[in-house]
Amino acid sequence: MTATALSGTASALSGLDLAGTAVFAMSGALVAARARQNLVTFAFFAALTGVGGGTLRDLLIGAPVFWMHATAPLAVCLCTALLVWWTPHRLWPGRAIEWCDGLGLASYAAYGAAKALAFGIPWLPAVVMGVVTSCMGGIVRDILAGQPSIIMRPELYVTAAALAAGLYVGLAQCHVAPMLAGGCAVTFGFGLRGLALWKGLALPPYRD
Amino acid sequence: MTATALSGTASALSGLDLAGTAVFAMSGALVAARARQNLVTFAFFAALTGVGGGTLRDLLIGAPVFWMHATAPLAVCLCTALLVWWTPHRLWPGRAIEWCDGLGLASYAAYGAAKALAFGIPWLPAVVMGVVTSCMGGIVRDILAGQPSIIMRPELYVTAAALAAGLYVGLAQCHVAPMLAGGCAVTFGFGLRGLALWKGLALPPYRD
Amino acid sequence: MTATALSGTASALSGLDLAGTAVFAMSGALVAARARQNLVTFAFFAALTGVGGGTLRDLLIGAPVFWMHATAPLAVCLCTALLVWWTPHRLWPGRAIEWCDGLGLASYAAYGAAKALAFGIPWLPAVVMGVVTSCMGGIVRDILAGQPSIIMRPELYVTAAALAAGLYVGLAQCHVAPMLAGGCAVTFGFGLRGLALWKGLALPPYRD
């Protein structure tokens, strides 16, 4: 991929990145709200959850960490924390954390895979980049809050991330335009996670 | 900042760095002591807690990891582990872990912010660097020991780190000498954390 | 070490690396099996446990992350996950996870130390690289699964890793051939861990 194409893809998908950051930050702040934490802890959880996944992605693919030379990602996280702080808890629907997390999951899976491809990573590690990266935000949030990790829950979670990342990489290999491929990947990934939340959809568990 | 100024700042603040390493290492070794671990686990916890925060800082700002090309940080951690091993537990005051951790918190917050500024990171990520970095040592220690994370405790913790890091960055932007800015930042940050430990000072929690 | 020697050492030891990856992946998949997870979670745990330690090593020593530009490590992890999935649980001996983990521990400790030396890291950080790296796979696996960390268990664990890494570095400093040094290190490290598992061997715990 040439530098121009990379730049085009990157700008086309940067909206996806900020969207993922915002919704993960929201899910982090909601965990802080449930734990009755103070405003600084809200901001800490929002930032860590919001940029955690992308940070790991950038370290792994050898890119400069994205929020080190731009202020937008951190600003988005801090504003999200304030927004959650000021909104009465009962206005949030009961499973708001899960739905925010699901949208962030699909967005980050697609964007993570796209950025890995843009840095010359082969297809298999690129798909895994999307998956691992999109799951890390939620995982770090749960570990820090002392909750059971979201990936051990019965409904499809990692699978939805794998679908979004795999779909993006597959469509990109077929030269589909990045915006279209990203839109498809997010739609199907979030759709699958939504179905899992709504219907309790799950893959068959391991049996002896 | 020029290379000379960076080198001057770095040497002026390297004492702060080793002090932070030593007290975090001590808090790690004390956790191992409470869990009745053996000497090797003492060393493991001391090293991981002592250099964990600085390691994350260096990875994020793109600097070579500081203890990879110097022996002093690891040697400090191992000596601290031995010191704690040989000292009868009842000689340690009951809340020694918290006080050591608080001093390490303030030192690392100031030094982390200073190093980030020296690497050309803008002010907002530099403050966050100080905060996240100084909190990571304690967080990793608590996760590995299976304890509730220190950032979920009611007294001010992240706030004290934010005060130290923010104060350093603010004073540095006003061209205050690094030693003076660092001294102020550590004093106020540790003072706030100390007040929190002593008086149970806390920010108001989230309420519906 | 010259580039040729590095290349020779690397190819001589790459078998050790894939062996460590496979057994750690197996221990990750077995944890997923115990938790009655689905196939995608099997693959996630196998990959994270299998490449987690080496990933941290490469980030710390400043090397490109090994599984980003090669497909073999990930393929080994995914095949291992499938193998565990298809094998009835009762065919696995009760402590299979611990034994696999012990072999991975010794292999990764030796290989991690060797790679660090090859990148010009001094002997003390190189030994620590072997130890921390080889322990990280199991630690991340346990944290994600919500289990007590393996390093808090009474039998020798970190000690066995330290023996393997220290032996490799010591023999390499005496110019012993890499294959021989690696063989010795893995044999003694795994032997010590095996003794610990079999006899409950442990260092004396901390006493007041």
Query: What average pLDDT does the segment B4-10 reach?
Result: 51
Indicate whether C205 belongs to any domain: no
For residue C191, give how far its alpha carbon lies from the nearest alpha carbon of chain A (Å): 31
pLDDT tens digits for range C72-120: 899 999 999 999 998 876 666 667 777 877 888 898 899 899 999 999 9
Query: How many CA atoms within 13 Å lie on the side-chain side of B7?
Result: 3
Indicate whether B206 belongs to any domain: no
Indicate whether C33 belongs to any domain: yes
For B122, counting Cβ atoms within 10 Å of its Cβ (0-12 exposed, 13-18 middle, 19+ buried), the class is: middle
Indicate whether A204 belongs to any domain: no
Domain, as residue range, for B179: 3-199
Indicate whether A157 belongs to any domain: yes
The per-residue pLDDT for A69 is 86
Query: What average pLDDT does the segment B158-165 reach?
Result: 92
CA–CA dist C35, B79 (Å, integer): 40
- How many structural domains does chain C have? 1
Question: Is the dihedral angle over the CA atoms C149, C41, B132, C120 positive or is it negative?
Answer: positive
Indicate whether A139 belongs to any domain: yes
3-state secondary structure of A206: coil
% of chain A at pLDDT higher than 70:
89
Helices B72-86, B3-34: inter-axial angle, 10-degree rounding: 30
Query: What average pLDDT does the segment C32-38 reach?
Result: 85
**Predicted model pTM:** 0.87
**C156: left (phi > 0), else alpha (psi -120 to 50), else beta?**
beta
**Contact yes or no for A144 and B139 at CB 8 A:** yes
pLDDT at residue B9 is higher than 80:
no
**Contact yes or no for B206 and A71 at CB 8 A:** no
**Contact yes or no for B124 and A71 at CB 8 A:** yes
Q: CB–CB of C142/C133 below 8 Å?
A: no
* Residue C170 Cα distances to A20, C10, C124, angstroms: 48, 18, 10
The per-residue pLDDT for C46 is 92
For residue A153, give how far its alpha carbon lies from the nearest alpha carbon of chain B (Å): 20
Indicate whether B17 belongs to any domain: yes
**Contact yes or no for C144 and A139 at CB 8 A:** yes
Task: Copy the structure tokens of residue B39.
Answer: 């000497």
CA–CA dist B206, C18 (Å, integer): 49
pLDDT at residue A4 is higher than 60:
no
C-contacting chains (≥3 CB pairs under 8 Å): A, B
The residue in chain C having the minimum alpha-carbon distance to the alpha carbon of residue A151 is C41
Token look-up 């589909």 returns A176
Indicate whether C98 belongs to any domain: yes
Residue B46's nearest CA partner among B22, B73, B25 is: B25
pLDDT tens digits for range A139-197: 888 888 878 777 777 778 888 999 999 999 999 999 999 889 999 999 999 999 999 98
For residue A203, give how far its alpha carbon lies from the nearest alpha carbon of chain C (Å): 6
For B174, counting Cβ atoms within 10 Å of its Cβ (0-12 exposed, 13-18 middle, 19+ buried), the class is: exposed
3-state secondary structure of A38: coil
Q: What is the mean pLDDT of chain C?
A: 85
